[in-house]
């Protein structure tokens, strides 16, 4: 079964790899085809399951055919009670979306004998135009991820969306256990638990641990929070399936160790064969992460974050 996911213009690589990672976490044999701002997945995982987790998706659904000539459009699906046609033009072609939608609507109305409903259709038919192909997609609902709430914030926190994305890049899924050994205000734990991933947080700052606990309580979540240094990881290494974390960006008032030394020491102690997603400030790269897949997120002139997936 093929499904499609339309991506935003920003963070396109990250958005695409997040979708592929979610699908692979359920179906390791997932195949994908990437086009500008579009991913077509060949997977056993339903698009709804992926959409409920994915951070950046715009539109998604099943692929039910391709077309060259809209007057011959023929999606291979049972006829819906009512439908609407929508154009997604991802190509450089200049075309009239409303004309294309009207033409497709007339053909399908005749073929199916179904009503066109602009406001409350049972099915949306997507005419997805790329420079290489014209796909027909369909979706009977719009699925969006349910984000956790955060009652206490902090200037150094990672934003909720990026946190969700990095949890998904780890390919951890329901029932797995994630460790964030630098949990701060708990953003990564919140996103993990919102997707039914068990989570454990560590932070050496007791104030941060309390903020995390309050943020978890506000969502009725029960992730464990340990007030200790990341070395505590060694005592729980057998309980965790992966590590997703956002490392300190500067020398903290509570430790004299430089961020570079910290990342070096931390990475050298990570248990082998655990899934690993790290966020750190650009410039703190270390040889141990040379082979990791990396993404850069520009924040402002003195902060570009690197996401490394190993």
Ligand X SMILES: C[S@@+](CC[C@H](N)C(=O)[O-])C[C@H]1O[C@@H](n2cnc3c(N)ncnc32)[C@H](O)[C@@H]1O
Contact between 124 and 117 under an 8 Å Cβ cutoff? The reply is no
Token pair for 193 = 């638990």
Where on the phi/psi map is residue 184: left (φ > 0), alpha (ψ -120 to 50), or beta? left
* Minimum distance, C-beta of residue 178 to ligand X, in the bound complex (Å): 13
Compare residues 126 and 280 and give the one whose CB is closer to ligand X. Answer: 280
* Minimum distance, C-beta of residue 145 to ligand X, in the bound complex (Å): 18
* Minimum distance, C-beta of residue 205 to ligand X, in the bound complex (Å): 4
Contact between 24 and 37 under an 8 Å Cβ cutoff? The reply is no
Phi, psi dihedral angles at 211 (to 5 degrees)? -60, -45
Query: Which residues of this chain interact with ligand X, rule CB under 6 A?
Result: 154, 156-158, 181-182, 184-185, 187-188, 202-205, 208, 229-230, 246, 248-249, 252, 255
Compare residues 177 and 210 and give the one whose CB is closer to ligand X. Answer: 210
Identify the helix (H) or strand (E) that includes residue 138.
Answer: strand 134-139
Rounded to whole angstroms, the Cα distance separating 103 from 195 reads 41
Look-up of token digits 């011959």: 72
* Minimum distance, C-beta of residue 183 to ligand X, in the bound complex (Å): 6
* Minimum distance, C-beta of residue 20 to ligand X, in the bound complex (Å): 24
Compare residues 185 and 194 and give the one whose CB is closer to ligand X. Answer: 185
Compare residues 222 and 258 and give the one whose CB is closer to ligand X. Answer: 258
Compare residues 26 and 249 and give the one whose CB is closer to ligand X. Answer: 249
Nearest CA to 166 among 61, 272, 263, 280? 280
């Amino acid at each position: 079964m093929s499904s499609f996911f339309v991506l935003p213009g920003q963070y396109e690589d990250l958005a695409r790899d997040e979708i592929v990672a979610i699908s692979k976490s359920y179906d390791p044999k997932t195949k994908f085809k990437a086009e500008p701002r579009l991913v077509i997945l060949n997977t056993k995982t339903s698009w709804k399951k992926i959409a409920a987790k994915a951070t950046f998706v715009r539109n998604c659904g099943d692929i039910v055919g391709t077309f060259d000539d809209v007057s011959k459009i023929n999606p291979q699906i049972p006829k819906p009670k009512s439908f609407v046609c929508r154009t997604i033009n991802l190509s450089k072609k200049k075309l009239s979306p409303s004309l294309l939608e009207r033409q497709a609507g007339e053909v399908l109305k005749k073929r199916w004998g179904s009503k066109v409903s602009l406001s409350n259709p049972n099915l949306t038919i997507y005419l997805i135009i790329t420079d290489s192909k014209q796909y027909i997609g369909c979706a009977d609902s719009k699925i969006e991820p349910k984000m956790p709430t955060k009652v206490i914030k902090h200037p150094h926190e990672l934003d909720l969306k990026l946190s969700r994305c990095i949890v998904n890049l780890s390919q951890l899924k329901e029932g797995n256990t994630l460790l964030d050994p630098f949990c701060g205000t708990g953003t990564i734990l919140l996103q993990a638990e919102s997707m039914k991933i068990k989570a454990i947080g560590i932070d050496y700052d007791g104030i941060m641990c309390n903020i995390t606990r309050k943020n978890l309580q506000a969502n009725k979540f029960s992730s464990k929070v340990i007030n200790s240094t990341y070395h505590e990881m060694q005592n729980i290494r057998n309980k965790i399936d992966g590590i997703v974390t956002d490392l300190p960006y500067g020398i903290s008032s509570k430790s004299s160790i430089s961020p570079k030394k910290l990342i070096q020491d931390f990475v050298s102690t990570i248990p082998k064969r655990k899934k690993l997603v790290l966020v750190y400030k650009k410039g703190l790269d270390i040889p141990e992460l040379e082979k990791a897949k990396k993404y850069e997120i520009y924040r402002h002139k003195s902060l570009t974050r690197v996401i490394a997936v190993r």
